[in-house]
Amino acid sequence: MRKDQNLFKRMIKGAWGFVGTARRFTFNLLFLIIAIGLIMAVFSSDKPKIADNTALVIKPKGVLVEQLTANSFDEVVDEAMGENVAETLLKDVTDAIVTAKDDDRIKVLVMDLSVFAGGRLTKLQDLAIALDEFKSSGKKIITVADSYGQDAYYIAAHSDEVILNKMGAVALEGFGRYRQYYREGLDKLGIDINVFKVGTFKSAIEPYIRNDMSEYAKEANNEWLGDLWQIYLDEVAQARGMKPAELNVYAQEITRIVKESKGDTAQAAIDFGLADKALTRVEQLEYLIGLVGKNEETHSFNQVGLGDYLKTIEADRFGRKAKGDKVAVIVARGTILDGSQPAGKIGGDSTAALIRTARNDEDVKAIVLRVDSGGGSAFASEVIRREFEKARADGKPVVVSMGSVAASGGVWISTSSDQIWAHPSTITGSIGIFGMVPTYQKPLAKYLGVRVDGVSTAPLAGIRLDRELPADIGEAIQANIDRGYQEFLKRVGEARGMTTVEVDKIGQGRVWSGVDAYELGLVDSLGNLNDAVNAAAELANLDEGYAVTYIEKEQNFQERLISQLTAKALQVKSSTNPTTSSLHKLVKELEMAATEFAELNDPNHAYVLSNIETD
């Protein structure tokens, strides 16, 4: 009997093992099939069919950027779940709009701003140029959203019709600059922040050594914020046929205006001339069907989205296959760090490699550097600057185009150039330098009873984050920072034809708008990227047939797959505006501050970094 029971148990165990193996095999096979299908869908080159009477729907997701951030697979998942802010490439949007202008199939352009998270003013201005060009064809632009924030409304103002939800609103917040300050909290924890800096206005370091914004920082911030706000008012008012003062009244007296409309924010926007129609989502759909017809399969209006429409554009939009004379564009977006960095950050080595590629390409006759950076490592900035110095020595003109932010290290890498162009709303300057070394020996001793002791044959061997920084070492670091500032003044002075004393007067870490920078002589001309490209071609004596080629770090298969998956992730995100709790936002801000600090990797701990974000 016992033998029969054991045999039965072995049979059951074997059968169950077979079932388990089969289950795992089936699950893995199913996962493999899904993965292969997804990869095939991602890299499918099938062009969508577009009806003769179609609306091009552009629905920018997240923030508008000039270079997409290279994501890991985990970040792709986070983005799909709404944990990370999505990105939309500005060039994708403008290329689609400009192409659609002459596309007879496209009758209407619909800008759906329901999930748009905003963008810096320079990017909105470039988008507005494309919208105005589209309108020159006589075709209509309609903007739809439940509600409009300030950035979204800048785009909406350049359309023919602004439609919002009957329960929506237009919110013009103005421009502000608020930061978190950690001094009191760091003192409570007993963490010492050893700061070394030059520049009265160099405020990037203030959160670690103050509990509030300094009067110097407030003075500088008020100056450039006021410039940007006036530019915004002027351009939006002109687009809507209003006076800037009238638009400013709406922003300044929103409480009174909403009260007078008895809380009907949508009607208040219409009465004030900021919106044209207030429609429910059902009514919006019916309105658009009336314009371009109904698609019986989808029960919506005839439309093609941005991603599908870009597949129909045959042109080599980034000039990667271009032949003959070329102007190379290198985009430098993000924090400047030492070493090789992915897209969305500026690596001293990786960006220098891109410059060398352009310099060694016989067909490239000029180089344009598009800067969108608040700076970072002084060492990496100098590595990049030296490469441009070599390119110019080899006879290739270098023109800098400053984007939304080109401050501190963004200025440093711009100094070896033949011309510097900036948008009027560019944020630049911040010519200053700092170093920061935190030590946490006090909380270790107080809370954990941990102390550090030992011996060394030279002072540097005893430098640790869990020991107090020796005073003489601090003096050495400060001396290096002082020298770095003098080098910065020298670089700018040589580039701008100024003495170091003259540069110091407008330096000291102070931030300026593009308008002020032009008046101060920090830039040569005001204009956008296209203006800078044309200037580079003129310096190189190129005929009109030259090509523009974007030189970027090559991606391997895994990186290309992740990039494509990012685009797919955006398509499955909710179409509603994401809402985030105040606590979650606070945690994210703290996390971002910690991440920014942790990634700084200058070998000399010397940073030419402003406190202005690029996006």
Instruction: Please state which of the ranges 80-84, 138-142, 434-438, 467-471 shows the lowest mean pLDDT.
Output: 80-84
Q: What is the residue type of 401?
A: S
List the domain boundaries for the chain.
1-44, 54-170+275-311
| pLDDT computed for residue 575 by the predictor | 37
Question: Is the confidence at residue 30, as pLDDT, over 70?
Answer: no
Kindly list the distances between the CA atom of residue 221 and the CA atoms of 43, 197, 199, 471, 485, in Å, as whole numbers in the listed order.
46, 19, 15, 34, 22
Cβ atoms < 10 Å from Cβ of 563: 17
Look-up of token digits 């005073």: 471
Catalytic, out of 61, 197, 202, 326: 202
C-alpha angle 484/490/495, rounded to 5°?
A: 130
User: What is the residue type of 455?
Assistant: V
Q: Residue 85: which pLDDT band, with cuts at 50, 70 and 90?
A: confident
- 202 catalytic? Reply is yes
| Continuous H helices in 420-466 | 441-448
What local confidence, expressed as pLDDT, does residue 318 receive? 92
Q: Place 566 in a pLDDT band, splitting at 50, 70 and 90.
A: very low
Contacts of 63 (CB under 8 A, 6+ apart): 85, 86, 87, 88, 117, 118, 119, 615
Instruction: Give the CA radius of gyration of the chain.
Output: 28
List, as one string, the DSSP characters of 147-208: SB-HHHHHHHHTSSEEEE-TT--B------------HHHHHHHT-EEEEEEE-TT--TTHHH
**pLDDT of amino acid 495:** 95
Per the listing, tokens 């949007």 go with 93
Please state the pTM of the whole predicted model: 0.84
Q: Does pLDDT of 329 surpass 50? A: yes
Q: Which of 358, 328, 333, 357 is nearest to 347 (CA)?
A: 333
What percentage of residues in the chain have a pLDDT greater than 70? 82
Which candidate in 381, 408, 417, 513 is catalytic? 408
Distance CA 104, CA 111 (A): 18
Look up 365 and say whether it is catalytic.
no
pLDDT at position 74 is 46
Per-residue pLDDT of 344-384, as tens digits, reads 899 999 999 999 999 999 999 999 999 999 999 999 999 99
Residues 445, 468 contacting (CB under 8 angstroms): no
pLDDT at 198 > cutoff 90: no
* Fold designation for 54-170+275-311: 2-enoyl-CoA Hydratase; Chain A, domain 1 (3.90.226)
Q: Is 112 helix (H, G, I), strand (E, B) or coil?
A: strand
Residues facing residue 109 across a β-bridge:
56, 141
**Can you give the pLDDT at residue 108?**
97
Q: Angle 557-572/2-42 helices, nearest 10 degrees?
A: 90
CA distance 190 to 446: 9
